Amino acid sequence: MKHLFAFYSLAFGILLLHSACAPYRPAEQLPPPPSPPPSQGHYAIQAGDLLGISFAGEMDLTQQVRVDWNGMINVPTLSADGNAELHAAGLSPSELAAKLSSYAVANKILVKARAQVLVIEYATLAYSVLGQVTQPGRYNFPRGVPPRLTIEEAVALAGGYTRLARQTRVLLKRNHQVYSVDLKKIASQPGHPPVIIIPGDVITVPERMF
């Protein structure tokens, strides 16, 4: 038992040393947020996107479908057997709408078809909050607003901190770089520049070291 305790003590010490020496950049070095995603007319549908599909004058055919990880969608209302799979990834919403219109006519679902496709939820417009928050997980940016949140808002949407959270060194991973953010300092200084979260960011709230 003593040997096991010594092993875990050594492992924990190494972990603390690695954490202290980790090459995290300060939040002030975060690059400016990139431009928002392109308009739907020029957007290429991706796996994971949630699409809204409708046909002019045909309310019964209105539905929402998720693009699977093979880039396919299934639109059961466009087939007699309820299985109508079409490839959607890589197409623009207007191109997919034309494809759906042709499919509906070819399968004799409609004599004249005029489909419309809207991207309701972009798969890439999400961020993750991990560690010492009440509800860790992957979150989508709120609909109807630009995909920009402050890091405090992102943590709040994940239920806020647990009692073990270390607010002075929250980690923000963006692409291949990790930044250290002192949220306690930001909260105590109203004039502090905000740290903006963008799609793909991963926020990790570590545990306090007693």
Q: Are 50 and 120 in contact (CB under 8 A)?
A: yes
Q: Are 138 and 158 in contact (CB under 8 A)?
A: no
Q: How many CB atoms lie within 10 A of CB 138?
A: 11
pLDDT (0 to 100) of residue 182:
92
Higher pLDDT among residues 43 and 168, named by residue: 168
Residue 156: closest CA among 197, 120, 123, 193: 197
**What is the rounded average pLDDT for all residues in the chain?**
81
Q: Using a CB cutoff of 8 Å and minimum separation of 24, what contacts does 134-141 make?
A: 134/158, 134/159, 134/160, 134/161, 134/162, 135/159, 141/199
- pLDDT grade, residue 38 (50/70/90)? low
Q: What is the mean pLDDT of residues 17-26?
A: 55
Q: Tell me the torsion sign for CA atoms 24, 28, 31, 32.
A: positive
Q: What is the mean pLDDT of residues 158-170?
A: 94
Percent of the chain residues past pLDDT 90, beyond the cut: 44
pLDDT (0 to 100) of residue 190:
80
The set of residues, in sequence order, having a beta carbon less than 8 Å from that of 70 and lying 6+ positions away, is 47
Domain 124-205 classification at class level:
alpha beta
Radius of gyration for the alpha carbons in the chain, expressed in angstroms and rounded: 23
Q: What is the pLDDT of residues 96-108, one digit of tens each?
A: 999 999 999 998 8
Which residues belong to CATH 3.10.560.10 in the chain? 124-205
Which residues belong to CATH 3.30.1950.10 in the chain? 40-121
Q: What is the mean pLDDT of residues 162-185?
A: 91
Tell me, which fold does domain 40-121 have in CATH? wza like fold (3.30.1950)
pTM score of the predicted model: 0.54
Task: Check whether 11 has a pLDDT greater than 50.
Answer: no
